[in-house]
Structure 1
Amino acid sequence: MFDQGSRMTLSARRIGAMCARRGVVVSGAVFIMALVSVGLVWWLDPALHGAFDTALLWRNALPVFLLILLIYGLGGRALLALLLGAGFTWLVFEVNAIKEFNLNEPLMPGDLVLWHQVLHNMGFFAHYAGHRLALLLLALGFAVMLWGAWRLERRWRRPGRASRMALAVLSLVAIITLYRGNGFWYEAYAGETSIRFQLWSPIDNVQHVGFMAGLVRMSQRVRIALPKADQSLVEEFAARHAEDLQARTKRQPPAELPDIVVVQSEAFFDPGVLKGVDFDQFVPNFGRLAATGITGSLTTPTYGGGTIRTEFETLTGYPMEAFPTIVYPYYGLAGAWMPSVPRRLEALGYSTTLFHPFRSSFWNRRQVMPELGFQHSYYRGSFAGAARAGKYVSDHALFDFVLAHLDDARHDPQYAMVITMENHGPWDSDAGALANVLDGHPLPQGLSAAGTQELTYYLSHLVNGDAALGDFAKRLLARPRWTVLLFYGDHLPALPHAFADLGFDDDGAEVEEHTRYLLVSNRPLTPRTMNLSSYELPGLLFDTAGLPEDGYLALSSVARQAWEQDHYRHGPEYGQVEFNGARLEVSCRRKLDAAGRCGEGKP
């Protein structure tokens, strides 16, 4: 009996000693994870390389540490958790660097809606990464390291099941509450004594406070939600301009409705805004056409990418600035009924068609475009045999396809929305044989090797696309049917080296520069210059064609007209009228009535 009790006591001591050793191992592992997290963010984030700031350092390291701790709690293998956490953190920083380079903005919470887009379009996004073979080899090497860590890490080093569950639950709750800004987390990242972060300038702020801290701060503040509209502001404006609103609403459409063709040209802008480059030097056909119609600079809500932001504005008339928490409008905003341009034209008897020689799933267009009123759509599958210029279907081939469709159309008036792809980025590639189109178009002086490569690729496609525009407009406007052509660029391309080498005439930043638009017709049109924002293009289009306007579209057109007459004293007020009118119409999902209130009729 005595021997048995001694053995039991000895076993208890051994178990206690083993638990103590495991506790020490776990504590040591957690401490090492914390140190690795700090070192990792300091190494990866240039924003932390200046003066040593412990407050910024721990706020940036905390999200990484919690991720590694979660993996450790789920698997119980410290080395594997460190490798996985560090690898994922490095990948996020690399993706953020690519986005900052091409779009001049960091990864943001709204980008999470695109995860399935990235998975289903890896080939497309891989173009932006460069050195794809090296990346593949790196991924294979990392997978081998993970396998080795999984096999070699000793099982006795793993914490017990209860400890692992506690670590996993604790870290998961901390991650969720951290990014939601619950409790003391909000004070830690947004309180009076914490980091200063201005939500309206994400790129400047993450470069100041660090990427991880900035991402947490944006997540705490940003939700996909509609801001509350100031209805009284809209109603007061509508009351002061009741006569103008009624005139637009009751305007009778012309007896002959024109065919309307809208071309959204990928990354089109006139390099004449660059130092050492003349306007129309690389786009002579655009310049010739613009001189015969309505033209001007165009302010768009994006740079380097994010095409659907400009696209959404020109299809609805709603300014993206009215919805500051929504980064990608085809996710969470345009997924239901809206009184868009295609829907208004459909009600007048138009046949509405979309042409885009790329995947229908990209940017969620397959689901959204029918909601926005498109009856017919032609995507990449319809252009299987079309000629390409570089990676994508050429503008020449796309325009030929559109003309063939218009020639085969019935007698109904046609509305065609054409979204080009030829000059899509990245623009740091070899232009190949297409560079021959630059013969007679010398590049400006002062370019570095990287800037020369960027500008050669971009301008080759720009000149090629301009020739396609000239041919398209000539044939389109030669048709006997009344036709209106609206052509515009969705955003400037991301040419960071070329832009830095040359600079802009106004010494502004690339994100502050404008693209251009033109509106021409084969019926008499008074040439004039009007500088607009892309959300004002629908109003210009309806005014030019003499079509009735209602709801927000009428309100926006009257606000634009009032701004032209009195923008020195009340310009900002008119902008707020448009923003709040858009919020009001979207939130109530009804067209605004002539009094600036939600209409009673159902969509």
Structure 2
Amino acid sequence: MHDASCRAGLARHGIMISLKRRIADRFHTSRLARSSVVVLLVMLLCLATWATDRRSLHLQLLTYAGSLGFIANSVPVVLLFFMVLVVSRRVIFTSLIVSALMGAVYRINAIKLETLQQPIAFSDVYFLRQVNASVIHLLSHYLSARIFLFAVVSLVILGGMYFWERPLLNLKRLSRIVSALLLALVAFGLYRGVSPARKLYDRNVLRIAPWAPAASELHAGLLGTLVYQAIESSTALREPVDNAAITRLARLEVPDAGAPSPVASQKPDIIVIQSESYFDPSTLAGIDDTSRLLPVLARARLAGSVGQMRVPTFGGGTLRTEFETLTSVPLAAFPKIEFPYLQIHDKTMPSLVRVLKTQGYLAYAVHPNDANFWNRERTFQSMGFDAFYSRKDFPADAPEDGWAIADSSFTEKMEQLLDRESRPVFIMGISMEGHGPYLENPVLDKAMRDSIPVPSTWPENAAKEYRNYAYHIHHADHELGRLWDYLERRKRPYILVFYGDHLPGFSKVYTAAGGFDDHQPASTQMVPWVMVSNLGLKMPGQPIYSWMTGGTILCSFAGQGNDYYAMIQKAQRHQAERRMASLDRETLEGIESLSRLYLRGEAMPGNVKESARQSFCAATGVTNP
């Protein structure tokens, strides 16, 4: 009886297997069934991606689901789905891999929003194009072990699904290759903005706001915004020139400040230090006196050598401030350029370096990181630097603190360069010790770190993040004092400029502090900048833009600029005379249009050349040492 029951069970099981096979065979041979499943899965993926997008903005999941923005956001999903499907022929595998890629995109977007308060942008692809060991090492600090584990498990599941799933498409190899090439051609046309794509991804159609990424994502979705940015990137340097704005700038009436007295015997050594994420935390609500944390900054402030600087980035993007300082070109003139060293490929780039070299200067760059990071090696060559001292030029046993080489070793390298030269030297130093993330940032002296005062009302993770950060900028401040004292002992004329590249990308501190003393957002805060010298110079009284740095340096010792620098100094003089915290929009438009000509190597207009014959130095009171 038991055997008969088993045989009956096996027979039923065999019938079920046979029935399933027949259904599967019928499904795989029915074009209508296959097409219906593919269409249904594509629609579900588009809806799921849009819902994920809305969730990232804390909106209802189907907000604007019937808009053109939904279509614009869905096009990349559809293209990716069919490209993977044609190659793999497996519909479930395709759905999973597209879902995983979309999930990864939005997870990366969440991490960037948390650390930099900006969504991912198409220009981030330039960062990925230069991936190397240093980039991987940096990014690893922002990713948890759980994320790596999830990625590994996902890859295992996808691999198993590929081998388990029966192919849905019966395309021969040639057909698959042709189909893949056609889809790739469509994707390339989308990227280049061929007529249909450009009409859909038009700024006005999708209500894109380039200056407000969150608003752009609201209407066009993250993927739709990325495609819009990709289309626009091909014209990044071809920004229009407003000749009327240049004319207004040339005609601007400002008093002649008079040229400063020239240095008597030799030109000063010029050292510019861009300190990683350096700012004065006393501007945070709840943080009061920082004179013990930053005693050298306090010393410079008492000497009247500290000002405020507007920088073009927040939380990251070091090279943006660096680019403005070295070229005197405001990035606001090129809104499609996010990573200038990666997006500008000219063999010769105008720079402060080239201006100084015409006056007999040697020019060195010092940065204790991989030379190829941010494409610095090639860019510094195009700017005219004589040598770039990167990580490979530091001792193998150079001390590290935080995630990078300590600022003490960085200072030592610059002192070595100054010791060996008799000619005037320009050094651009870019530090690394203060780099984030800060929540789990390693420190060598934990006792010193733990002694840093923090408001008692802050939660533990915010206090930890702040102390780790403050520990490193205390070192940066100390090294500023060390270099300043060293230059004083040399008894040679010098100009030392020190500033932060941007405010740190805190994930906890800003929320715990409840804002800044001026009640303005973190992304708009200025950084302190210091200019000390034995030439008796006087600091500009008004805040400067980072692109004004070169002109301020040249003006401080009667250095010879060019027509473009003369107009920069004219704008700065205009700002100082009117005691404005920032330039008026009309003057900025003139500078931005002129900078487009300057960066592209085009000739300065005749009215600019005529205006540049005057002296517009904003710094005065320079005396011979």
TM-score interval, normalised by the smaller of the two chains: 0.7 to 0.9
Q: Aligned pair in 2 of structure 1 residues 118, 408: CA closer, same or farther (>3 Å)?
A: same
Q: Aligned pair in 2 of structure 1 residues 343, 32: CA closer, same or farther (>3 Å)?
A: same
- Structure 2 counterpart of 1:327: 338
Q: Is residue 95 of structure 2 the alignment partner of residue 82 of structure 1? A: yes
Report the alpha carbon displacement of residue 477 of structure 1 after superposing the two structures with TM. Answer: 2.1
Q: Which moved more, 1:144-153 or 1:44-53?
A: 44-53
Report the alpha carbon displacement of residue 378 of structure 1 after superposing the two structures with TM. Answer: 0.7
- Structure 1 counterpart of 2:147: 135
Report the alpha carbon displacement of residue 500 of structure 1 after superposing the two structures with TM. Answer: 1.2
Report the alpha carbon displacement of residue 342 of structure 1 after superposing the two structures with TM. Answer: 1.0
Contact 2:542 2:576 in 1 (8 A): no
Q: Is residue 571 of structure 2 the alignment partner of residue 559 of structure 1? A: yes
Report the alpha carbon displacement of residue 460 of structure 1 after superposing the two structures with TM. Answer: 1.1
Report the alpha carbon displacement of residue 393 of structure 1 after superposing the two structures with TM. Answer: 0.9
User: One-letter code of the match for 2:306?
Assistant: T
Q: 1:507 aligns with which of 519, 541, 544?
A: 519
Contact 1:591 1:598 in 2 (8 A): no
- Structure 2 counterpart of 1:397: 409
User: One-letter code of the match for 1:412?
Assistant: R
Q: Which moved more, 1:30-39 or 1:491-500?
A: 30-39
- Structure 2 counterpart of 1:260: 270
- Structure 1 counterpart of 2:326: 315
CA distance in 2, matches of 1:579, 1:251: 30
Q: Deviations over 1:174-195 (max 9, x none)?
A: 4344444444444444486x54
Q: Deviations over 1:308-351 (max 9, x none)?
A: 11001111111111111111111233633233111111111111
Q: 2:371 aligns with which of 334, 337, 360?
A: 360
Q: Aligned pair in 2 of structure 1 residues 431, 207: CA closer, same or farther (>3 Å)?
A: farther
Q: How does 1:416-427 map to 2 (within 5 A)?
A: 416-427=427-438
Contact 1:198 1:205 in 2 (8 A): yes
Q: Is residue 34 of structure 2 the alignment partner of residue 21 of structure 1? A: no
Contact 2:142 2:437 in 1 (8 A): no
Q: 1:578 aligns with which of 577, 580, 591?
A: 591
Q: How does 1:84-99 map to 2 (within 5 A)?
A: 84-99=97-112
State the secondary structure of the residue aligned to 1:118: coil
User: One-letter code of the match for 1:74?
Assistant: V
Q: Is residue 490 of structure 2 the alignment partner of residue 476 of structure 1? A: no
- Structure 1 counterpart of 2:465: 454
Q: Aligned pair in 2 of structure 1 residues 157, 321: CA closer, same or farther (>3 Å)?
A: closer
Contact 1:337 1:589 in 2 (8 A): no
Q: Deviations over 1:378-401 (max 9, x none)?
A: 110111221111221111111122
State the secondary structure of the residue aligned to 1:264: strand
CA distance in 1, matches of 2:315, 2:214: 14
CA distance in 1, matches of 2:427, 2:452: 32
CA distance in 2, matches of 1:453, 1:204: 33
CA distance in 2, matches of 1:266, 1:64: 38
- Structure 2 counterpart of 1:154: 166
Q: 1:303 aligns with which of 301, 314, 339?
A: 314
Contact 1:270 1:279 in 2 (8 A): no
Q: Which moved more, 1:42-51 or 1:344-353?
A: 42-51
Report the alpha carbon displacement of residue 164 of structure 1 after superposing the two structures with TM. Answer: 4.6
Q: Which moved more, 1:537-546 or 1:103-112?
A: 103-112
Contact 2:370 2:390 in 1 (8 A): yes
CA distance in 2, matches of 1:359, 1:347: 29
CA distance in 1, matches of 2:335, 2:231: 14
- Structure 1 counterpart of 2:287: 277
Q: Aligned pair in 2 of structure 1 residues 592, 360: CA closer, same or farther (>3 Å)?
A: farther
State the secondary structure of the residue aligned to 1:481: coil
User: One-letter code of the match for 1:257?
Assistant: K
Q: 2:561 aligns with which of 545, 549, 554?
A: 549
Q: Which moved more, 1:323-332 or 1:107-116?
A: 107-116
Normalization by structure 1: what TM-score?
A: 0.87
Q: 1:538 aligns with which of 533, 550, 564?
A: 550
- Structure 2 counterpart of 1:10: none
- Structure 2 counterpart of 1:8: none
- Structure 1 counterpart of 2:47: 38
Report the alpha carbon displacement of residue 528 of structure 1 after superposing the two structures with TM. Answer: 5.9
CA distance in 1, matches of 2:243, 2:359: 29
CA distance in 2, matches of 1:438, 1:115: 34
Report the alpha carbon displacement of residue 94 of structure 1 after superposing the two structures with TM. Answer: 1.9
User: One-letter code of the match for 1:90?
Assistant: G
Contact 2:41 2:95 in 1 (8 A): no
Q: Which moved more, 1:560-569 or 1:421-430?
A: 560-569
- Structure 2 counterpart of 1:112: 125
State the secondary structure of the residue aligned to 1:496: coil
| C-alpha RMSD of matched pairs (Å) | 3.1
User: One-letter code of the match for 1:477?
Assistant: E
Q: Aligned pair in 2 of structure 1 residues 162, 34: CA closer, same or farther (>3 Å)?
A: farther
CA distance in 2, matches of 1:537, 1:31: 58
Q: Aligned pair in 2 of structure 1 residues 593, 191: CA closer, same or farther (>3 Å)?
A: closer
- Structure 1 counterpart of 2:618: none
- Structure 2 counterpart of 1:344: 355
State the secondary structure of the residue aligned to 1:37: helix
Q: Deviations over 1:206-226 (max 9, x none)?
A: 256532232233334443223
Q: Which moved more, 1:365-374 or 1:450-459?
A: 450-459
Q: Aligned pair in 2 of structure 1 residues 437, 471: CA closer, same or farther (>3 Å)?
A: farther
Question: Matched residues, percent identical?
Answer: 27
Q: Aligned pair in 2 of structure 1 residues 24, 440: CA closer, same or farther (>3 Å)?
A: closer
User: One-letter code of the match for 1:407?
Assistant: D
CA distance in 2, matches of 1:29, 1:487: 59
Q: Aligned pair in 2 of structure 1 residues 118, 567: CA closer, same or farther (>3 Å)?
A: same
Gap runs ≥5 in structure 1: 1-15
User: One-letter code of the match for 1:43?
Assistant: T
Q: Is residue 242 of structure 2 the alignment partner of residue 230 of structure 1? A: yes
Report the alpha carbon displacement of residue 44 of structure 1 after superposing the two structures with TM. Answer: 5.6
Report the alpha carbon displacement of residue 36 of structure 1 after superposing the two structures with TM. Answer: 2.7
User: One-letter code of the match for 2:386?
Assistant: Q
Total equivalences in the alignment: 579
CA distance in 2, matches of 1:284, 1:183: 60
CA distance in 2, matches of 1:156, 1:316: 56
Contact 1:127 1:426 in 2 (8 A): no
Contact 1:395 1:421 in 2 (8 A): yes
Q: Aligned pair in 2 of structure 1 residues 336, 235: CA closer, same or farther (>3 Å)?
A: farther
Q: Deviations over 1:264-319 (max 9, x none)?
A: 00000110110121254431211212332432111100011111110011111111
Q: Deviations over 1:356-404 (max 9, x none)?
A: 1100000101101011121011110111221111221111111122112
State the secondary structure of the residue aligned to 2:499: strand
State the secondary structure of the residue aligned to 2:274: strand
Q: Aligned pair in 2 of structure 1 residues 254, 578: CA closer, same or farther (>3 Å)?
A: farther
Q: Aligned pair in 2 of structure 1 residues 275, 562: CA closer, same or farther (>3 Å)?
A: same
Contact 1:103 1:305 in 2 (8 A): yes
Contact 1:303 1:494 in 2 (8 A): yes
Q: Which moved more, 1:263-272 or 1:494-503?
A: 494-503
User: One-letter code of the match for 1:424?
Assistant: H
CA distance in 2, matches of 1:153, 1:500: 48
- Structure 2 counterpart of 1:217: 228
CA distance in 2, matches of 1:457, 1:430: 6
User: One-letter code of the match for 2:327?
Assistant: T
Contact 1:550 1:593 in 2 (8 A): no
CA distance in 1, matches of 2:609, 2:593: 10
Q: Aligned pair in 2 of structure 1 residues 191, 594: CA closer, same or farther (>3 Å)?
A: closer
CA distance in 2, matches of 1:376, 1:191: 43
